[in-house]
Chain A
Amino acid sequence: MPDAPGLELIAQGIEEGHEGTVIETSFEHGRASLVVNPEHILHALTWLRDTPEQGYRFLSSLHAADYLPATPRFAVHYELLSRERVERINVKALLENPAGADGEEESLPELDSCVELFPTAEYQEREAYDFFGIVFTGHPDLRRILMPEDYVGWPQRRDFPIGGEPVLFTHNEIEAPRWFE
């Protein structure tokens, strides 16, 4: 992992020419993490990938998390890996849930898609869309991947109910039409 001073240097490098990209850096449990402004996420990723000394060319994982009740609510994590130096860095883009418009159309948080930079992100962005409703603009084929195509709702958001049914015991057994008799 890049150590804490190395992380500061990276943050400075990204900031050059694009002020306001890096919001925060943090270093805990041996893991370097950059919190990046979602508008400039592509610049940050491109810088990390293309700068010769950095060379984080492998995207290990792209996943989203819901930090409810904290705001901003959503975060998209990019786990980057530099294979030459075996170093990992985490880039986080925090997204607000846009206030629900009046009417049925719920507006979804948006982020630029990094499929051109890292083709491996294709399925993983679809998964983040499927489960959290985060729209990746520029994704070639953004649709649900694991839930049925016509499913309504974003299952892994924290306010989505877990589902399932209560276990039937004698005390809460409901009279279901007993079709086998």
Chain B
Amino acid sequence: MEVERESLRARQLRARDLLRGDLEGKDLEEYVEERLLTTTLEHALNWGRANALFPLTFGLACCAIEMISMVTSRYDIARFGAEAFRASPRQADMIILSGRVSVKMAPVIRRVYDQMLEPKWVIAMGACSSSGGMFANYAVVQGADKFMPVDIHVPGCPPRAEALLHGFNKLQRLVRGQPDLGWRQRYNAVGTEEWARFEAGEPTAEALERAAAAIRSADEGEGGHA
């Protein structure tokens, strides 16, 4: 919203009128609109979420060093509010997969990711976690999105800290833009529910139906719970 550059005198007179209670009606509305941020609660929440993402300390390999240098003073992720790296997945809402995902490590990453609370986001930093990178062999999972949902892929080997910051900014825009969705709703992932709802072994048809119904009802605006 553009604020017209009125002359200083005119603005002073208006301010005086406002203080005296002389501004009314349309003038008052205009004045307030120009100066206050009005928003819905969701937008405010998402703005808050985006500007205070808590990343999980999850350095795997070389990209981790660039991630650390993103935290330090030259590239400074603190100006975007994300300098508080939490060690416990329960307290973090973003995980940056920095480094190659080896076959032995993949279940560990998946478990750590499961322990994080909704809403949570994933940045796959670097070529190795996005797609296996240069290592097309028996020991590296060819892309972390084979076993977990990834929101942002940042290319590079390793990506410069500025590239990671660019990816991070994109994530912030993603967070601000979307209403509160757990990843299952975002990706329409029916049938990916695990563990507790199923008594033993394979998911039964009714259990799948229940899960699908739960997703659909959450979709209709109840907010995300998995």
Contacts and interface: CB of A to CB of B under 8 A. Distances in A.
A pairs with B: yes
Contacts of A13: none
Interface string A142-181: 0000011000000100001111110100000000000111
Contact of B138 (A162, A179, A180): A162
B139 A163 contact: yes
A-side interface mostly = loop
B107 to A, nearest CB: 9
B103 A161 contact: no
B188 A180 contact: yes
B187 interface: yes
B192 to A, nearest CB: 8
A161 B138 contact: yes
B142 A165 contact: yes
Interface residues of A, number: 13
B132 interface: yes
B-side interface mostly = loop
B189 interface: yes
Interface of B: 103-104, 132, 135-140, 142, 187-189
A35 B187 CA distance: 60
Contact of B137 (A164, A167, A180): A164
Contacts of B142: 164-165
Interface of A: 147-148, 155, 160-165, 167, 179-181
* Interface pairs A-B: 8 shortest CB-CB: A163-B138, A164-B136, A148-B104, A163-B137, A164-B137, A180-B187, A162-B137, A165-B142
Nearest to B131: A167
A59 B187 CA distance: 54
22 contacts: A147-B104, A148-B103, A148-B104, A155-B138, A155-B139, A161-B138, A162-B137, A162-B138, A163-B136, A163-B137, A163-B138, A163-B139, A164-B132, A164-B136, A164-B138, A164-B140, A164-B142, A167-B136, A179-B187, A179-B189, A180-B188, A181-B188
Contacts of B137: 162-164
A165 B132 CA distance: 9
Nearest to B189: A179
Nearest to B103: A148
Nearest to A162: B137
A180 B187 CA distance: 5
